[in-house]
Amino acid sequence: MSRRLPVPTGGDPEFLPLTDARMYWQVQRARVQVAVREGFQAWVGAPVERMTLGIWKRCLPGGIVLEKLGLPRRPVEQELADSLIIHVRPRELIKIRDWRGIPKRKRPSSSAFIWDGDWDLQRGDLRHGSRYRFISDLNVHSDDLTESDTFQRLKARSDKGSPLSSYRQGFLLDSEERILGYLSVYLNFMNDMKRNGFNRDRGKDELGVAVSRDGRLIKINRGLHRLAMAQYLDLPTVPVKVKAVHREWWEKVTQNAHGAEALERVVEALQHCEPETEPGPLDPDQPPENFIWPS
């Protein structure tokens, strides 16, 4: 009896034709992990975070300590909703936080809204990142994907017996047909964006950004393929969502205010934030010069 592959967790429907029954147990394991994580967050994490933010908003005892700990990100996002959305030109959003060489214990928590440290001084350049190279490669070879560097690389992996696989999407790229199908999905995404513009609800991940100490927007992980497509197409704007802010910027903007008043000042100041375009003083690499966007 053939084993029925469960619907992958967090997968885009466009990838369903590529799902492979050999990925059955990997997909099952991913589903269980997601269910456990989301269940814990819904029944334990979320109530505690809402209570924490409530204490801080009402300026109750302990609120100052909670602010020093960074405030819980998720209830802040729920509280501010679309006030955290900023529309930027994608070709200006070129800097991303670079964690290379930074131990995990020294990185800001993804659960916190206020981040400490020098994370904003070490930046990567998205114009030379793997996602933009991938999207550019597909478009240059859209008439014959077998000529693309990506196809050649994935085929070489398959020939060596270590094909690209995804337990989230449930695919296994162990043949030329599957590789071409995978690359065609991204070309379809690109063509849809070219015809219909950027659809905020299309991808499973929002285009997250963080605000630096200088009030500049720096990309954080997630949504990088869609951003690369928007950059390649030179879309006029895309919506990005603020997921975190540097503590120095927070203190400069709030000016010792707390609770609802502090959030109001943050929302007002966010409307003046623009993408960071300059290298950081702690960048491990200097990006190549003379980069030219496609016309």
pLDDT, tens digit, for every residue of 191-246? 999 999 998 877 667 899 999 999 999 999 888 999 999 999 999 999 999 999 99
**6 or 261, higher pLDDT:** 261
Put simply, whether the predicted model's pTM sits higher than 0.75 gets the answer yes
What are residue 95's DSSP bridge partners? 125
Three-state SS string over 54-121 comes to: HHHHCCCCCHHHHHHCCCEHHHHHHHHHHHHEEEECHHHCCEEECCCCCCHHHCCCCCECEECCCHHH
Domain boundaries, the chain: 13-275
Residue among 195, 180, 190, 274 at smallest CA distance from 232: 190
Residue among 103, 125, 105, 75 at smallest CA distance from 228: 125
Burial state string for 5-26 with b = 16 or more CB within 10 A and e = fewer than 16: beebbebeebbeebbbeebbeb
**45 or 262, higher pLDDT:** 262
pLDDT, tens digit, for every residue of 86-130? 999 999 999 999 888 888 888 999 999 999 999 999 999 999 999
DSSP secondary-structure letter at 72? B
Is 272 a residue whose pLDDT tops 50?
yes
- Phi (first) and psi of residue 81, to 5 degrees: 50, -125
Q: Which of 2-16, 153-167, 176-190, 279-293 is the least confident region?
A: 2-16
DSSP secondary-structure letter at 241? E
The pLDDT assigned to 2 comes to 40
DSSP secondary-structure letter at 69? T
d(CA 258, CA 66) in angstroms, rounded, equals 11
Residue whose token pair is 């240059």: 140
Mean of the per-residue pLDDT values for the chain? 91
Which tokens sit at 48?
């505690």
Highest mean pLDDT among 8-17, 41-50, 282-291: 41-50
- Phi (first) and psi of residue 86, to 5 degrees: -125, 135
Please state whether beta strands 123-125 and 95-97 pair in parallel, antiparallel, or not at all (unpaired): antiparallel
Amino acid making up residue 44: V
Query: Can you give the C-alpha Rg of the chain in angstroms?
Result: 21
